[in-house]
Amino acid sequence: MSEILDLLTYPFVIRALIAGSLISICASILGVILVLKHYSLIGHGLSEIGFASLSISAALNISPELVSTPAVILASFVIMFVSQKYKTAGDIAIAVASSAALALGIIISSLSGNTSIMSSYLFGSVLAITQGDLIYSVVISLIVMASFVIFYNKFFLITYNEDYSRSLGINTTFYQLIISILTALIVVMGMRIMGTLLISGVIILPAVSAKVFASGFRSLVIISGVISLIAFVSGLILSFVFNLPAGAGVILANTIILIIMKVIAKK
């Protein structure tokens, strides 16, 4: 316990704790919608597209955020457009886009010789969180939470019954695009902490765990957020105590919680 308290004296730990907690909560909230709408793989797909954009930024020696943020947002639009217009299953569109992006990212990073730089983004690093990243995560988190509160009823309707929502005159495409933008922003920020390979787990696992006991949409959102926060703090502690990558520790904590929830439910 004393070692854990000592860690709180380091600024980078405080930055990682605050930024990671906010991003984890927002990711879990969006994850509820994505799981219920069968877009479970969107976090994975967008993170691999983010990997490709990071490879491009590293090859061109420019700021990663300048490339990854618009690229991931654009990719989320394309995935949503293909899914809606051609009635293609969301997960299929995501799988196609992510596979192509991952291959492109690997080729670019190999040709440019930036494989060592990209490894930090693949697995995440709490040391990479700067003061600017902290401010960015706070702003993005506030935007996500405010959007969820303001559009709560619309999100609820299009999540459970999109056809009924459309019959009420709700512009379902508009609100789905909002969800995709918010998810893209969370993925871009989450890649810094969790890594491109693991950020999808932070989006999906808390929502899946919460479904075990949640009785409705609101309780599902609340329980998912609480689980995500507990998992992040526990995973961060595990990563420091056992010298593990932060992203791996968080996903491990999420997985343990999911198993515990399933066992309790069966009992």
User: How many alpha carbons fall within 13 Å on the CB side of residue 212?
Assistant: 18
| CB-side neighbour CA atoms (13 Å) of 236 | 25
Q: What is the pLDDT of residues 61-110, one digit of tens each?
A: 777 677 778 888 888 777 777 666 665 555 666 777 777 777 887 787 77
DSSP string covering 74-99: HHHHHHHHHHHHS---HHHHHHHHHH
Model-wide pTM > 0.75: yes
Sequence spans of domains, the chain = 2-266
| C-alpha to C-alpha distance for 211 and 220, rounded to whole angstroms | 6
Q: Return phi, psi of residue 42, to 5°.
A: -65, -35
Confidence of residue 135 (pLDDT cuts 50, 70, 90): confident
Average pLDDT, the chain: 81
Residue 230's pLDDT is what? 93
- What is the tens place of the pLDDT at every residue in 253-267? 999 999 999 898 887
**Is the predicted pLDDT of residue 241 greater than 60, yes or no?**
yes
How far CA 1 is from CA of 5, 16, 237, 238, 241, in Å, comes to: 6, 19, 10, 12, 10
Give yes or no for residue 119 having a pLDDT over 70. no
**pLDDT reported for residue 183:** 86
Please tell us whether the domain made up of 2-266 is placed in CATH 3.40.50.300.
no
| Residue carrying structure tokens 């969107």 | 42
User: By the 8 A CB rule, do 267 and 218 touch?
Assistant: no
pLDDT (mean) for 163-174: 84
